[in-house]
Structure formats: C-alpha cells, structure tokens
Amino acid sequence: MKIDRNSDDREIRHESVFRQRWRDRQSAATRPGEVIRQQGWVDAGLFALSVLSTAGVVTVCTISIAQTETLPAVAEGMSVTAIRADGTPPAQGAAAQFRDPSGTTQGAVVVEVTATEVRARLERPVAAPAGELVVPKGRQRLISVLLPRLR
C-alpha cells in the first residue's frame, strides 16, 4: 500500500505485487531470438498424444470386420435354397440367417454349397416362402474399410 504524499485528500493507491511479478516473468523471455519456454505439462501431453496415435494406427491395421452377403432365397419347411452370386462361397456349417419380407430373421446353418446354390437348414419352419439368406462372405481389414483408396 502506498500513500501519495503530494495529493491533498490523502488518497490511498494500491499496487498489485502479483501483477508486477507476472510482468517481470513475461518480459524476461522476450529478448529477440530467444526460444519461448514451454510449460512442463506440454511435453507430457505431446508424449501421451503420440502414444495414443500409435495405438490407434496399430489397432486400425490389425482389426478386421466380418462381411456378409445377402442372397435371394426360397424356404420350404426346414430348408432354404438361395441362388449363389459370384465371389467367395460360404463354408459348410457356417452360421447364416433367413430374413423374410417382413424383416423377421431366423437362424440357419449352411449344409450344402454348389456352384450356383447355397442350401441351409433352418432352426424352425417359417411361414413366408420367399426371403433372403444372409451368409458370411469373409473378413476385411478395418483400414481398408475406412480408407478404401489405400488398397
């Protein structure tokens, strides 16, 4: 606290000690050509960011996604016959699903695969004779799904 002796009404003036210290610290590193000093947490933050980025890249390159293929199918009792499209045929014993036009799905197991057809056995009979058979197609890496031009 400072009292101005020259004023008539004895006005009290306050000077902030903290503000002066802050100004001194800020002006100490402002000489031309001097590198700005960083806080200590900046290095730790950059290290954590690089570790997380590396972990993300490794994860994206190693994870794969299962793909499915939908085939037009006809159901009769406990069996379903679907017309096979080009591509990788499903393996015998693979899990599949029969989806009727209303969207109701039912589990099935692939029992026979030929050049043109896929036959599957249903868990229980279905009411709708027509629908779709959803069969596994294969796996694809997550990186190729997210960035298809990198193939």
pLDDT, tens digit (0-9, with 9 covering 90-100), for 78-95: 999 999 877 778 888 999
Q: What's the average model confidence in pLDDT over 62-75?
A: 90
* Best CA proximity match to 118, nearest among 106, 133, 107, 103: 133
Residue 119 lies in a domain: yes
- Relative to beta strand 130-141, strand 2-3 is unpaired
Residue 58 lies in a domain: no
Residue 31 lies in a domain: no
H or E segment to which residue 108 belongs: strand 105-113
How many angstroms separate the most distant Cα atoms in the chain? 109
| CA 125 distance to own-chain centroid | 38
φ and ψ at 34, to 5 degrees? -85, 135
Q: Which domain holds residue 84?
A: 67-150
In the chain, the number of structural domains is 1
Is 129 within a domain? yes
pTM beyond 0.85, yes or no: no
pLDDT digits over 8-62, tens only?
555 565 666 666 776 666 666 556 655 566 677 788 889 999 999 999 999 988 9
d(CA 95, CA 93): 6
Residue 9 lies in a domain: no
Mean pLDDT within 83-108 = 88
Q: How confident is the model at residue 97 (pLDDT cuts 50, 70, 90)?
A: very high
- Domain-embedded: residue 14: no
What is the rounded average pLDDT of the residues 104-126? 91
pLDDT confidence band for 129 (50 / 70 / 90): confident
For the ranges 3-12, 91-100, 108-117, the lowest mean pLDDT is seen at: 3-12
**Which CATH number covers residue 100?**
2.40.10.170
**Is 32 inside any structural domain?**
no
Task: Evaluate whether residue 18 is within a structural domain.
Answer: no
Q: Is 93 left (phi over 0), alpha (psi -120 to 50) or beta?
A: left
